[in-house]
A and B are shown apart, each in its own frame.
Chain A
Amino acid sequence: MPSTINEYFQLMPFLIIGIGIILSVVIEISSKSSKEILPWFSIILFFATALYSITNISEHAVLFGGMVEVGGKPAIFNFIFNLGAMLVVMSSIGYLKKYGTYFGEYYILIQSSVLGMMVMAGSKDILMIFLGLELMSICFYVLAGINRNKLGANEAAMKYFLLGSFTTGFIVYGIALIYGTTGTTSIQNLIDNFGEYSSNIIFVTGLILFLIGFSFKIAAVPFHMWVPDVYQGSATTVTGLMSTTGKTAAFSVLIIMLTSIFTLNSANIFKPYFSAIAVLSMFFGSIVAISQNNLKRMLAYSSISHAGYMAVGLAAANSYSISGIIFYLAAYAFMNIGAFSVISIIEGENDSRTDINVYAGLNSKNPVLAAFMALFMFALAGIPPMAGFFGKYYVFVGAIESNLTWLAILGVISSMISVYFYLRVIVFMYFKDAEENFEIEVAPYSLSSVVISGVLVLMFGLFPDMLLRLITAVVSL
């Protein structure tokens, strides 16, 4: 089928970001004041794309001979990616200034990684997925080590790169096996003939390798080893980006790949796999996070356990649980970016002041920051009426609907455990007196990132229908 000019118009979100990247490079090269321009340019770019995506959700179409999907689910994902990246850029302005380092590449890399995520979420072809994944991952490897003078950042980048390449190996090998047995990389073709292919052991092996690769990317146990060090070592704002939008992108692939496959009866083979990684991730993350004193590391383990809750939804695999995961991802993105923005504000030079005891008495030093941090912690713990609760609720509804009540029970038990370490942050902020005196410099943009995240977390909590209605409308597409 020849592509028409119309199809290019429908690619609008990709085009906005893509042209934006090129313009950013030009600005960076040619303008002396790129330091001031680039962040604002990125914010506008992300906001425009987010707005465009969310308003064009109903324009669902598959373009270029079944390669790319626009509107529908990808539009929701694009909304999360771009809004998340916008908030991260906002909190980066003050953070980079504090570090005393400025790299124009920083913003360009963020833009490119977002483009990679968008490609992942919008692909209808395994090769496209791989393309997007690599674009995102390579940007992340560089971003993790953007501060090249820091030992921790170097370690994080190296570790991330090595384990990430290893993962890529799994995925490519999986793709090769899939293509080798079926002769196609089109997801639609795979689904249509899934019954026939699934009897082939090599095809199934390929699919499992593919799944394992993405289990790395969503940070699920037992593929989580890179997470704590990378999250702790990277610049805080970058961690905020990786842990939220990066996870969302990986989940978007799993959702796109599996929702259609799961509707087939022969696909029950994945249920034990996802149930297992769900249980392992939930409990491992929650239990290990208890003993963490570094807040970034604690949130890294919490990110592992959140991956577990979302994997419950993958195991349940019905329309409730899939909409649940998408809502959960949105909620998680904003509460986590909010929390990391607060951390980036408190953080001092040389990665100092990321330990929990620094937060002692924060309420008397800066009540606004403390209140927002408390909001994010309660939201992450899944206490209503914050957004995090509805994500969990919806995923558990899906699980019980699919007769996985035991998984839901294990999920709530893990939530009980996790309440402790989230609450611990609040205990330090509100119930203890300050141990050390230091000035908290609150950059206005960072604060606005915190406030916007907080408002979104509350809004999605009090009126979840705004987002849920959009999601449930497109989830079956």
Chain B
Amino acid sequence: MEQNLLLTYLLFAPIVGSVLVLFFNKEQVKLVRWFGLIVSLIAFVISLIIYFMFDQANPQFQFVNKFLWISSINVSYHIGVDGISLLLVLLTTFLTPLTLLSTWKAIEKNVKMFTFSMLFLEAGMIGVFISLDIFLFYIFWEAMLIPMCFIIGIWGGERRIYASIKFFIYTMVGSLLMLVAIIWLAVYASNMTGSFTTNLLDLYKVGASIPNQIQGWMFGAFFLSFAIKIPLFPLHTWLPDAHVEAPTAGSVILAGVLLKMGTYGIVRYCLPLFPQSAVEFAPVISVLAVIGIIYGALVSMVQTDMKKLVAYSSVSHLGFVVLGTFAMTVESVQGAVIQMVNHGLSTGALFLLVGVVYERTHRRDIAYYGGIAKIVPFYSFALLFASLSSVGLPGLNGFVGEFLILLGSFKSQVLNNWWFTIFAATGVIFAAVYLLWMYQRVAFGVVKNHELADHLSDLNTREMIVLAPIFVLIVWIGIYPSTFLKLTEASTQLILQQVSTYTVNLLK
């Protein structure tokens, strides 16, 4: 059978690029930067081509490539995209070039290795989203830790070593238990069907038949790994450290894409593989999600460091995504997926903007700033725009996702309780409080530090080029979300169909 190799090209473009970077001379900083940017743009173009060739009405995986890789444990190089993963792949390939461009001033030390790490990371992230073999998925999931650990550890702030080790070990703890679960599933499949397999599509068929109690453990092992990555309250403690210590580019990628791997994992693995347990645990997890929404928002409110504030806001926003996923209605899951993208865009933009002033003043504390609207009007407008998008102002992207999630969870039969929605909705109000309050303290009022007027210059052309595409998308999703919702609709319905038999059982 003829296989369309576009997706393989997409995966290997950054890998080949990252290997080629190693052959550059260390001194040719400019060349390395351009090269990294061009490679990531090539990946973006390939993903756009895939988007235009993608059949949105078809809920199945498309652009599937399958080659036997390790015959003795029956592992294939098996990749493909459906609407959900394609959207996240697009987010990845969209954010990576922008992030690389944003670092042209900020990263001076060892640019070659930085570019290598970023491209390697991009390949890992794409790999996670497109793998259709759990073993392959696990390899990308783990391999991706290495560049991220380097990005935090080498180019990070003062406590970077602590942050990178914490990040690494936290993630390892979750994923190694997932590894045991993966092996157990493969062995189970071999007992049921006679062939040892880690092929996701085959496992979908046997997953539901796992005895209830063991299914709970399996679900738990997968979920723990994803929950750490998201991070779901109370497993979020690595996040503020990692975000604050990482360089701007690291924070953007971390918030923009890496956290989504956890929520994507739930949608792709936890729900369809272990439907019964997913339905059973949905209320408990939703409680944690709602606690996360409120807790993240409250902690954000009292932060004095801008970057930490944005970091904790992620806990709150990702809580919405988890709530939406476990409400298990078409609206809420679609809302959750679109909210993943929204969070990537608006939080990414916020981190970029914090990075912009940090580059100039090396200060991140809110109290240091004040009245900068007069000094840097363009910057202040951009900050307001990104904040409002994160708050969920109607007409911008955040509103669409949150509204769908709240709507879906309100009428969810799995949760069957209005209180989830009611409490979650307060998170939206709190978001307005902490972000707008921060904005007020930073941008309005009298100019507190007059040295700011000397240090702080407004956005330059490069920074505007980085932010402009993000802002365009923010408005696009806000005004005409159907472009993106249509992409995920069919696939979402298919996943919920797999769960629905158990939903019905439960309700009886």
Please list the residues of chain A having a beta carbon within 8 angstroms of any beta carbon in chain B: 323, 363, 367, 378, 383-385, 389, 393-394, 396-397, 400-401, 405, 408-409, 412-413, 415-416, 419-420, 423, 426-427, 430-432, 464-465, 468-469, 471-472
Contact: B179 with A396, CB < 8 Å?
Answer: yes
Q: Which of B143-151, B227-235, B288-296, B379-387 is the interface stretch?
A: B143-151
User: Interface size bucket, B side?
Assistant: 20 to 34
Contact: B143 with A408, CB < 8 Å?
Answer: no
Could you tell me the distance between the alpha carbons of A152 and B142 in the complex, rounded to whole angstroms?
40
Interchain Cβ contacts under 8 Å between A and B, 25 examples: A378-B146, A383-B145, A384-B138, A393-B183, A396-B179, A396-B180, A397-B183, A397-B187, A400-B180, A400-B184, A408-B180, A412-B179, A416-B172, A419-B169, A423-B168, A426-B153, A430-B153, A431-B160, A431-B161, A431-B164, A465-B69, A465-B72, A468-B73, A469-B72, A472-B72
Complex partner residue of B176 from A415, A465, A472, CB under 8 angstroms: A415
Report A-chain residues with C-beta under 8 Å of the C-beta of B142.
383-384, 389
Kindly provide the distance from the CB of B232 to the nearest chain A CB, expressed in whole angstroms: 19
Report A-chain residues with C-beta under 8 Å of the C-beta of B153.
426-427, 430-431
Report A-chain residues with C-beta under 8 Å of the C-beta of B146.
378, 383
Report A-chain residues with C-beta under 8 Å of the C-beta of B184.
400, 405
Contact: A397 with B73, CB < 8 Å?
Answer: yes
Could you tell me the distance between the alpha carbons of A426 and B150 in the complex, rounded to whole angstroms?
9
Known: A420-B169, A427-B153. A394 touches B179 (CB 8 A): no
Could you tell me the distance between the alpha carbons of A433 and B145 in the complex, rounded to whole angstroms?
22
Kindly provide the distance from the CB of A328 to the nearest chain B CB, expressed in whole angstroms: 14
Report B-chain residues with C-beta under 8 Å of the C-beta of A472.
72
Report B-chain residues with C-beta under 8 Å of the C-beta of A464.
70
Contact: B154 with A412, CB < 8 Å?
Answer: no
Please list the residues of chain B having a beta carbon within 8 angstroms of any beta carbon in chain A: 69-73, 110, 113, 138-139, 142-143, 145-146, 149-150, 153-154, 160-161, 164-165, 168-169, 172-173, 176-177, 179-180, 183-184, 186-187
Most buried by A among B161, B168, B177, B183: B183
Question: In the complex, how many residue pairs between chain A and chain B have their CB atoms under 8 Å apart?
Answer: 85
Complex partner residue of A412 from B73, B138, B177, CB under 8 angstroms: B177
Q: Give the secondary structure class of B's interface.
A: helix
Contact: B187 with A400, CB < 8 Å?
Answer: yes
Could you tell me the distance between the alpha carbons of A451 and B31 in the complex, rounded to whole angstroms?
28
Q: What is the chain B residue whose CB lies nearest that of A470?
A: B72
Report B-chain residues with C-beta under 8 Å of the C-beta of A393.
73, 179, 183
Q: What is the chain A residue whose CB lies nearest that of B178?
A: A412
Contact: B179 with A385, CB < 8 Å?
Answer: no
Known: A384-B143, A419-B172, A465-B70. A409 touches B183 (CB 8 A): no
Contact: B165 with A416, CB < 8 Å?
Answer: no
Could you tell me the distance between the alpha carbons of A426 and B169 in the complex, rounded to whole angstroms?
14
Report B-chain residues with C-beta under 8 Å of the C-beta of A401.
187
Known: A397-B183, A415-B176, A423-B165. A468 touches B150 (CB 8 A): no
Q: What is the chain B residue whose CB lies nearest that of A424?
A: B165
Could you tell me the distance between the alpha carbons of A454 and B165 in the complex, rounded to whole angstroms?
24
Kindly provide the distance from the CB of A290 to the nearest chain B CB, expressed in whole angstroms: 12
Could you tell me the distance between the alpha carbons of A472 and B149 in the complex, rounded to whole angstroms?
36
Known: A400-B180, A409-B180, A412-B180. A394 touches B173 (CB 8 A): no
Contacts A400-B180, A400-B183 aside, 8 further interface pairs with beta carbons under 8 A come to A384-B138, A389-B142, A397-B187, A412-B177, A415-B176, A419-B169, A423-B165, A423-B168
Report A-chain residues with C-beta under 8 Å of the C-beta of B143.
383-385
Report A-chain residues with C-beta under 8 Å of the C-beta of B149.
423, 426
Kindly provide the distance from the CB of B107 to the nearest chain A CB, expressed in whole angstroms: 15
Could you tell me the distance between the alpha carbons of A401 and B179 in the complex, rounded to whole angstroms?
14
Could you tell me the distance between the alpha carbons of A405 and B176 in the complex, rounded to whole angstroms?
13
Complex A-B, nearest 6 residue pairs according to Cβ-Cβ distance, in ascending order: A412-B176, A384-B139, A431-B153, A468-B72, A465-B70, A472-B72
Most buried by B among A363, A384, A423: A384
Could you tell me the distance between the alpha carbons of A442 and B153 in the complex, rounded to whole angstroms?
27
Could you tell me the distance between the alpha carbons of A150 and B146 in the complex, rounded to whole angstroms?
39
Could you tell me the distance between the alpha carbons of A127 and B412 in the complex, rounded to whole angstroms?
72
Kindly provide the distance from the CB of A470 to the nearest chain B CB, expressed in whole angstroms: 10
Contact: B179 with A430, CB < 8 Å?
Answer: no
Kindly provide the distance from the CB of B269 to the nearest chain A CB, expressed in whole angstroms: 17
Q: What is the chain B residue whose CB lies nearest that of A465?
A: B70
Contact: B186 with A405, CB < 8 Å?
Answer: no
Contact: A468 with B169, CB < 8 Å?
Answer: no
Could you tell me the distance between the alpha carbons of A408 and B110 in the complex, rounded to whole angstroms?
40
Report A-chain residues with C-beta under 8 Å of the C-beta of B177.
409, 412
Report B-chain residues with C-beta under 8 Å of the C-beta of A367.
113
Report B-chain residues with C-beta under 8 Å of the C-beta of A412.
176-177, 179-180
Could you tell me the distance between the alpha carbons of A419 and B176 in the complex, rounded to whole angstroms?
11
Q: What is the chain A residue whose CB lies nearest that of B188?
A: A400
Complex partner residue of A416 from B71, B150, B176, CB under 8 angstroms: B176
Could you tell me the distance between the alpha carbons of A363 and B150 in the complex, rounded to whole angstroms?
12
Most buried by B among A378, A400, A420: A400
Contact: B173 with A416, CB < 8 Å?
Answer: yes
Report B-chain residues with C-beta under 8 Å of the C-beta of A416.
169, 172-173, 176
